[in-house]
């Protein structure tokens, strides 16, 4: 009777086990690398999208408010000096803008006033219309708070955030000092005189935003400043 040898079944050896583990770790590392890269790209896209929204909103609200500076609804029966009288903030009757120069970050303040009628659709810097039933002088104060938000308060009320990620806010005032219909210089609030304030025809705003990609290698902390020059429509 012929006897057949039974095959010898061997388990996996230590070397084979180490090779399998090494291959597995390489595969896992590759998967994690792809996931991390995908997550980083997604966060970067979200950050840049939010930045663009903040930039657009900040410039839109600044532009619309500054353009309205000095407006009043009844030019046939009154005058700007009557409707916008002098006070502690506005040295001159009829003065549309005022402000302060910040010694450092986060920069300046910009104050714009106009008279909102009850039916002219004028909006303050927080997007609200006049519903008081009477014409209302509206004072809009822009600044940047400690949390890097561009904020605006209306008539001394609580400041509302308009846009985030703002590191610095700078304002210059376009002055027609010789009253020839052409702006001859831009001046910071700290260098303005009472007579200069009466002759402001435009405002130049500059915003410096924090870089949402700062955590990535080679990225700067802030982006290049963006500036916009805004004419006061009541002066044109």
- For residue 2, tell me if it sits in a domain: no
- For residue 215, tell me if it sits in a domain: yes
160/143 Cα distance (integer angstroms): 10
Q: What is the pLDDT of residue 2?
A: 58
Q: What is the pLDDT of residue 45?
A: 61
- For residue 144, tell me if it sits in a domain: yes
- For residue 17, tell me if it sits in a domain: no
Q: What is the pLDDT of residue 51?
A: 86
- 188: domain range? 48-235
- For residue 27, tell me if it sits in a domain: no
Q: Residues 98-153: pLDDT tens digits?
A: 999 999 999 999 999 999 998 888 999 999 999 888 999 999 999 999 999 999 99
Q: Residues 184-195: pLDDT tens digits?
A: 999 999 999 999
- For residue 103, tell me if it sits in a domain: yes
Point out the residues of the chain with pLDDT beneath 70: 1-13, 35-48
- For residue 53, tell me if it sits in a domain: yes
Pure H helices in 96-223: 194-198
Does the pTM exceed 0.85?
no
The helices-and-strands tally (H runs, E runs) of the chain is 3, 9
Q: What is the pLDDT of residue 5?
A: 56
Q: What is the pLDDT of residue 120?
A: 87
**Domain tally, the chain:** 1
Q: What pairing do the DSSP bridges indicate for beta strands 226-231 and 200-209?
A: antiparallel
- For residue 117, tell me if it sits in a domain: yes
CA atoms within 13 A on the CB side of 200: 34
């Amino acid at each position: 009777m012929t006897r057949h040898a039974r095959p010898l079944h061997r388990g996996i050896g230590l070397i084979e086990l180490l090779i399998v583990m090494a291959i597995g770790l390489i595969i896992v590392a590759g998967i994690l690398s792809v996931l991390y890269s995908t997550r980083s790209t997604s966060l970067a896209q979200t950050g840049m999208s939010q930045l663009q929204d903040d930039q657009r909103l900040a410039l839109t609200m600044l532009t619309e408010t500054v353009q309205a500076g000095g407006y009043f609804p009844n030019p046939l029966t009154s005058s700007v000096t009557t409707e916008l009288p002098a006070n502690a903030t506005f040295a001159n009757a009829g003065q549309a803008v005022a402000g302060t120069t910040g010694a450092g970050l986060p920069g300046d303040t910009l104050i714009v006033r106009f008279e909102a009628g009850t039916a002219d659709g004028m909006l303050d810097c927080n997007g609200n219309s006049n519903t008081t039933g009477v014409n209302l002088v509206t004072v809009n104060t822009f600044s940047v708070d400690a949390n890097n938000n561009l904020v605006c308060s209306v008539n001394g009320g609580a400041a509302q955030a308009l846009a985030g990620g703002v590191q610095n806010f700078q304002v210059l005032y376009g002055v027609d000092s010789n009253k020839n219909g052409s702006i001859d210089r831009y001046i910071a609030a700290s260098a303005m005189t009472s007579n200069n304030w009466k002759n402001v025809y435009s405002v130049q705003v500059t915003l410096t935003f924090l870089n949402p990609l700062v955590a990535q290698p080679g990225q700067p902390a802030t982006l290049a400043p963006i500036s916009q020059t805004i004419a006061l429509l009541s002066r044109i």
